[in-house]
Amino acid sequence: MPRETQRKLNENIVVVAEKFNLLEVVYMSFQRQVDYSAAYMASDYHYVLTSALEAPPPHALPFEQLPEHRVACFWRAYDTFEAPLKELTARIEESKKMSFVLMR
């Protein structure tokens, strides 16, 4: 999105949020420029890492194996920081799907 459009969008969101007494709708964040085509915000990483850490087991695991699953989730989240752009984009899409399912 062009920077000027982002600025206008943020201003409009703040105006409408105040009208409905919504707080902290827009917040400052850090940005990582991966290449010329993509910039990811810290919040993007937050959602991807959270979905990786909280991923349910692929099938019903015995209670004794849950710690192993959690360790695997941790390492998947950790690997996200070094993930190539395609993989990071795919993980963002997975995170969106998981968030959508959890919000229903």
Domain map of the chain by residue range? 1-28, 34-103
Query: Quick check: 41 pLDDT over 80?
Result: no
Average pLDDT over residues 63-90: 82
Q: Measured between alpha carbons, how far is 81 from 1 in angstroms, rounded to an integer?
A: 24
Q: Which residues, at least 6 apart from 5, have a Cβ–Cβ distance to it below 8 Å?
A: none
Region 47-62 average pLDDT: 78
Is residue 28 pLDDT above 80, yes or no?
no
Beta bridge partners of 31: 41
- Greater pLDDT, 62 or 35: 62
Q: Is the pTM of this model over 0.85?
A: no
